[in-house]
Structure 1
Amino acid sequence: MSKPYRIGLIDFANVAPINEYLPESDQYEIHRGVPTEMNRQLLAGEIDLANISSFEFLQNADLLSALPDFSVSVLGPVYSVNLFHNMPWEALQGQKIALTTQSATSVKLLEVLLKLSGIEAVLERNEGTVQELLDAGYAGVLKIGDNALREWYQLCGPLEPYASVWDIPSGRGNIQVTDLSMRWYDHFGLPFAFAVWAYRTPPPPELVQNLRKARRTGLGELALVAERNARKLGLPEFIVQHYLWNFRYHLEKPDRSGLLKFAELVGVSGSSLRFSE
């Protein structure tokens, strides 16, 4: 009997509308982890397909191909890729910034945005809560995923269910929050593609069809997905629903344009990227 195809899924709420509706099958087996784990396992051949960081896809364009119609992209604020800092963005020159170990793309995005502002900072890998790291002497802390969303809400909440997005505060006290996806949009007016579904070995047709069905079902039941994940995260349901409806799970022309702009900025030729048909 041949070995089942192996797919890696990231256990973050932002991909729950797809992950929670992907059925099991004897054609493939499901592995779960954080983005850096999925990146490593895919590149090591331990899994065959995963929704990996877009930067890892760009850096390994000679090895990987991507599904043509899947991404985790955002046009504007993402709320879960945040730099928490205790001084203005422009004052980060020469300061120490603590980086999450969970995502290569978000770290590279921060580097790109700092460079666009002419800022050279000292970037160090470190983990801990925002307050712990700021108290340890860092001027900024990069957080991603569910933890970033929770810490964002702790600083910016509580919020009214029907408040305008223009009324959402950007921090509290001396701590400011810079949403990196929003800062990207302010520079380029494009979505930012945080992840794509990349593979080393072409997936079985059944898996691709099941992923598309899962996406359609999950987006159609977004309120239920938000309710379940709000309980897991300890956040108000309306916050998680607002968070999830911000995502673009396809890879349409604007999303590809954003991905190609990111490729250009990190020195990768867009012509080297491969997408299955």
Structure 2
Amino acid sequence: MRITESGLPEISIGHIKYMNVAPVNFAFDSGKLSEKAVWRNVVAPPAELNRRMEAGELDISSVSAAAYAFNSEDWLIIPGLSIGCTSEVMSVILASECPIEDLDEKKVALTLESDSAANLMKIIFAEKGVVPVIERKSLKRIEDAGSEYSAALIIGDSALTVPWENRFRYVFDLCTLWHELRNLPFVFGVWTVRKTVAEKYPDLVEEVASMLRKSLEDGLLNLDIISQSSARESGLSYEKCRKYFSLLDYRLPEEQVKGLGRFYDDMYSNGLVNKKIKISMFG
């Protein structure tokens, strides 16, 4: 965290650029936080925010849930904020030419933009006894999933707006697959703070966290407005946007924490992380 010329600490806050976080960001304005600090907003895809948090370039950020597993010794999860779903999510999909069970030894592209989705997909493959040839790459257009790929994992606005069914015969929702597997919600993203920042500036971190939670509550009360705005920006119908937001749970309730813990246990048992992960909360 840098100190500004005015002598105030500047808190750098990372925000995912996808429409799914619109309710959290609804009333969160950039500028002066209080008389005690200012903040700087950084907007980027989840994977980039993960990297910038790891590099110490951000103090607080929404990150992929999997990124916390790799950085649990250095980060704390902020309570009351998440990007989770129960049985369907719409914006995290596996588009495939065949059933998942038939992807063994076939080439599959996994998005570069989310570590959570990629690790979840690897767990699902392992549970089904499937060992595909995996390649990580950017997947924003149908052309990105070239003819050499039998399936592609896509997330975010690209999953919602691109007609992947025109290229692939099957489209699987990853939250649905997880729920069928574990009967638990899945958490794709959490908000985290670096431990060093939390220890030095606990009051400021709580102030930012409280403002994000208040912004979320305002956003949830205005989902019609958010859906209308998202429809204009994305080209999707209002109805599809409204349904999409209704599927997401942003408050990190206890059942989501259980799902998060099971995801981390599955990552460990499948060799995706080298130690058991303990979930540590700020505050």
C-alpha separation in 1, matches of 2:263 and 2:53: 21
Match of 1:238 in 2: 239
Confirm or deny: 8 A CA contact 1:57 1:64 kept in the other structure. yes
Closer/same/farther in 2, CA of residues 87 and 134 from structure 1, 3 Å limit:
farther
Confirm or deny: 8 A CA contact 2:141 2:158 kept in the other structure. no
List runs of 5+ in structure 2 lacking aligned partners. 1-6, 269-274
User: Offset of 1:134 from its aligned partner?
Assistant: 4.6
C-alpha separation in 1, matches of 2:158 and 2:10: 33
Alignment-mate amino acid for residue 229 of structure 1: S
Q: What is the Cα-based RMSD across aligned positions, in Å? A: 1.6
Alignment-mate amino acid for residue 223 of structure 1: D
Match of 1:35 in 2: 46
Match of 2:20 in 1: 14
1:182 aligns with one of 167, 176, 182: 176
User: Offset of 1:135 from its aligned partner?
Assistant: 4.1
Alignment-mate amino acid for residue 195 of structure 1: G
1:148 aligns with 2:159: yes
Confirm or deny: 8 A CA contact 2:186 2:259 kept in the other structure. yes
Alignment-mate amino acid for residue 149 of structure 1: L
Identity %: 29
Match of 2:117 in 1: 106
Q: Deviations over 1:15-51 (max 9, x none)?
A: 0011131123423221111111110111111110111
Alignment-mate amino acid for residue 104 of structure 1: D
Runs of 4+ aligned residues of structure 1 deviating over 6 Å after TM superposition are none
C-alpha separation in 2, matches of 1:20 and 1:253: 24
Q: Deviations over 1:81-110 (max 9, x none)?
A: 111011121110110001111111111010
C-alpha separation in 2, matches of 1:274 and 1:91: 39
User: Offset of 1:241 from its aligned partner?
Assistant: 0.8
TM normalised by structure 1 equals 0.89
Closer/same/farther in 2, CA of residues 181 and 111 from structure 1, 3 Å limit:
same
Match of 2:10 in 1: 4
Match of 2:193 in 1: 199
List runs of 5+ in structure 1 lacking aligned partners. 156-170
2:97 aligns with one of 86, 92, 104: 86
Is the partner of 2:148 in helix, strand or coil?
coil
Is the partner of 1:198 in helix, strand or coil?
strand
User: Offset of 1:175 from its aligned partner?
Assistant: 1.6
Confirm or deny: 8 A CA contact 1:84 1:130 kept in the other structure. no
Confirm or deny: 8 A CA contact 1:73 1:191 kept in the other structure. yes
Aligned residues, how many? 259
Match of 1:220 in 2: 221
User: Offset of 1:226 from its aligned partner?
Assistant: 0.7
Match of 1:158 in 2: none
User: Offset of 1:213 from its aligned partner?
Assistant: 1.1
Is the partner of 1:255 in helix, strand or coil?
helix
Confirm or deny: 8 A CA contact 2:95 2:168 kept in the other structure. no
Is the partner of 1:266 in helix, strand or coil?
helix
Is the partner of 1:111 in helix, strand or coil?
helix
Alignment-mate amino acid for residue 219 of structure 2: G
C-alpha separation in 2, matches of 1:24 and 1:216: 18
Confirm or deny: 8 A CA contact 2:88 2:173 kept in the other structure. yes
Match of 2:282 in 1: 276
Q: Deviations over 1:240-268 (max 9, x none)?
A: 11001111101111100000000100114
User: Offset of 1:133 from its aligned partner?
Assistant: 4.5
Alignment-mate amino acid for residue 263 of structure 1: Y
Match of 1:118 in 2: 129
Match of 2:261 in 1: 260
C-alpha separation in 2, matches of 1:128 and 1:37: 15
Is the partner of 2:9 in helix, strand or coil?
coil
User: Offset of 1:174 from its aligned partner?
Assistant: 5.3
C-alpha separation in 1, matches of 2:251 and 2:68: 16
Confirm or deny: 8 A CA contact 1:133 1:141 kept in the other structure. no
Alignment-mate amino acid for residue 253 of structure 1: E
C-alpha separation in 2, matches of 1:276 and 1:128: 34
